């Protein structure tokens, strides 16, 4: 079956026309949906209030991590260290 160049070109043009027609339909559909259902940003979440217990827990975790890091760096046992105060800057 021998295909001619003109038949191949016509099929290609038809395929491109269908693709662009579908794309145009999608563009107008999306624009219509944006007009009908505009985007509304969700309200911001209320800030979490930390209790004293959770702050102490966080600080205890930080002290444990710092103690373990110092002990490993200095090659000593963690029980040889006692961190008394940590200040944030």
Report yes or no on whether pTM surpasses 0.85: no
Across the chain, mean pLDDT equals 83
What 3-state class would DSSP assign to 62? helix
Longest dimension (CA), the chain: 90
- Nearest-5° angle of CA 53, CA 69, CA 59? 10
- Nearest-5° angle of CA 59, CA 63, CA 67? 175
Residue 59 domain flag: yes
Domain count along the chain: 2
| pLDDT over 90 (residue 3) | no
Domain that holds residue 66: 52-89
Residue 60 domain flag: yes
> What is the C-alpha separation between 48 and 22, in angstroms, rounded?
48
The pLDDT value given to residue 40: 86
- The tens digit of pLDDT for each residue in 39-70 reads 888 888 888 765 555 556 777 787 888 888 88
């Amino acid at each position: 079956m021998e295909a001619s160049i003109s038949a191949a070109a016509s099929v290609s043009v038809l395929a491109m026309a269908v693709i662009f027609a579908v794309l145009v339909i999608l563009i107008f559909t999306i624009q219509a949906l944006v007009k009908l259902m505009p985007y509304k940003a969700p309200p911001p979440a209320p800030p979490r209030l930390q209790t004293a217990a959770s702050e102490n827990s966080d600080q205890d975790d930080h002290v444990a991590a710092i103690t373990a890091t110092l002990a490993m760096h200095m090659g000593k046992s963690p029980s040889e260290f006692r961190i008394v105060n940590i200040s944030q800057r």
